[in-house]
Amino acid sequence: MKSKTFRFVFLLLQIATVTVFAGRAWQHLFWDAPYRVLLWDAHLMSGLVERFSSMSWGEFVASPSVDAAIQESIFITGIFYLLCALAAIFLKKIPFISSVFLLLGSTGLVVLAGLCLKEKFYHFGQFFEYSLQFSSPLFLFFVFRQKKISTRLVFWMKMATAATFICHGLYAVGYYPRPGNFVEMTINILGVSEANAIRFLMLAGFFDFLVGIGIFLPKKVAIPFLAYATIWGLATAVARVWANLYPGFVLESLHQWLFETVYRLPQFFIPLAILVLCKYHFSLEKKALSHRSLNHV
């Protein structure tokens, strides 16, 4: 592979990793994260609390000091994700320490996806919708360690992309309860009625399913699907800010919603990286075919 293409793809993976960690850091430092969905689950935690502390379960749940400790832990986790973002930036300068942070950060993102799964009543699509987020640091780690982009790695990048888009589509078409914010964002951005917003989401979900299949087809056919995935991935990420940006409260709107766009940006950068690789290899195949044709003349 030409070094120029490799460097560009590496940069895309690096930016994807920085954005997911930076967005999650922002969330944890200034807002909230769903750790209480586990820590306040009586079925799972009450026995542990009463065995290893002097509190009853009721005292634990109602304790302001416990709640403050949970909030402080969320803040510390935000600092950890910020360090992970910095590790991705300085991966080449401090490779060992940065690699450790990438692996630990990816593990943290898997745990966070699991908590979101629990919060959404164990709809497994909720977990796998985050595939590009928790796998981006791993893709960066393996490309950096192997100094190449293997066919196997591209396959797993496609798998993560397919999982993210298909699971997003499952919510859009209503297989899982369609989130109200999906409909609200569509109405706010497109200025359509609720009925037309639902029709639009049904169509978008159908295309999400097509992406999940199309990107595995031969390169010439897969390229349009990857181009669509890149554009739609960026659009769905930006929609979080676009639909909730109010002219009179611009800074407040950005503070509240921008992090949701930022940590979703891997769904733009990873399909773009695959698209670049696909076009590169397709051009090589065309040149090889042309060369063989000339040799037979």
What pTM value is reported for the model? 0.94
pLDDT at 291: 56
pLDDT more than 90, % of the chain: 91
Digit-coded pLDDT (tens) for 119-172 = 998 999 999 999 999 999 999 999 999 999 999 999 999 999 999 999 999 999
**Above 70 in pLDDT, residue 20?**
yes
pLDDT of 66-95, one tens digit each? 999 999 999 999 999 999 999 999 999 999
Question: At residue 229, does pLDDT exceed 70?
Answer: yes
Closest C-alpha among 72, 85, 81 to residue 32 = 72
Spatial separation of the C-alpha atoms in residues 263 and 233, rounded to whole Å: 12
Mean pLDDT of 91-100: 97
For residue 72, how far is the Cα from the chain centroid? Answer: 25
Residue 297 pLDDT more than 60?
A: no
Over residues 164-194, the pLDDT tens digits come to 999 999 999 999 999 999 999 999 999 999 9
237: containing domain: 3-295
3-state secondary structure string across 50-109: HHHCCCCHHHHHHCHHHHHHHHHHHHHHHHHHHHHHHHHHCCCCCHHHHHHHHHHHHHHH
The domain tally of the chain equals: 1
How confident is the model over 40-67, as a mean pLDDT?
A: 94
Q: Is 210 exposed, middle or buried (0-12, 13-18, 19+ CB in 10 A)?
A: middle
**What is the end-to-end Cα distance of the chain in Å, rounded?**
29
Q: Span 8-32, mean pLDDT?
A: 98
